[in-house]
Amino acid sequence: MNTLLMSLTIMIMTHEMPKLPYANNALEPVISQQTIDYHYGKHLQTYVNNLNNLVPGTEYENKDLVTIVATAPDGAVFNNAGQVLNHTLYFLQFAPKPSQSEPTGKLAEAIKRDFGSFENFKKEFNAAAVGLFGSGWAWLSVDKNGKLHITKEANGSNPVRAGLTPLLGFDVWEHAYYLDYQNKRADHVNALWSIVDWEAVGKRMK
């Protein structure tokens, strides 16, 4: 490969798998090692591989992940980029033994202001996650004015499409929970609260 081609190759942004801050079995019994092996190790890896194969030669080859998700039209690039972003945020928001059982500081104040209480927020979030028809995500996001929003996002979409900053996301695609909970989506959603790393989620709120 000549020097020019080498330099062009280096310039293309490569999207990578997020490094898990815990062992594959560390979230048991909420999320089993088998689910992590498949969900993180196979599903997410496929989205990353697909995205890296799709973007070269397009206007998105040197764009960061958030920009791609926010601006790409519906289609293969958007679908795979959305799932890379979604799953990166998802897997990095958990901890085997979170230091906090609920949010503190700025995020806690915003939740109380916009939802009345943390418990009421959880009820509304659970309803969004359990009530979403088909595959998708429930998200807590913040807008440019600091107001919090709970949204349902179909398939691989993300709140950045609406100019929001995602803070917390629950995956309700069946591959996220079927090995552990079969068709009991509500049980999966309820269990996830015990492993949310509120310190990590709070840092996402600018």
Write the secondary structure of the chain as one string of H (helix), E (strand) and C (coil): CCHHHHHHHHHCCCCCCCCCCCCCCCCCCCCCHHHHHHHHHHHHHHHHHHHHHHCCCCCCCCCCHHHHHHHCCCCHHHHHHHHHHHHHHHHCCECCCCCCCCCCHHHHHHHHHHHCCHHHHHHHHHHHHHHCCCCEEEEEEECCCCCEEEEEEECCCCHHHHCCEEEEEEECCHHHCHHHHCCCHHHHHHHHHHHECHHHHHHCCC
Q: List residues forming the annotated binding site for Mn(2+).
A: 39, 87, 171, 175
Binding-site residue positions: 39, 87, 171, 175
CA–CA separation, 105 and 134 (whole Å): 35
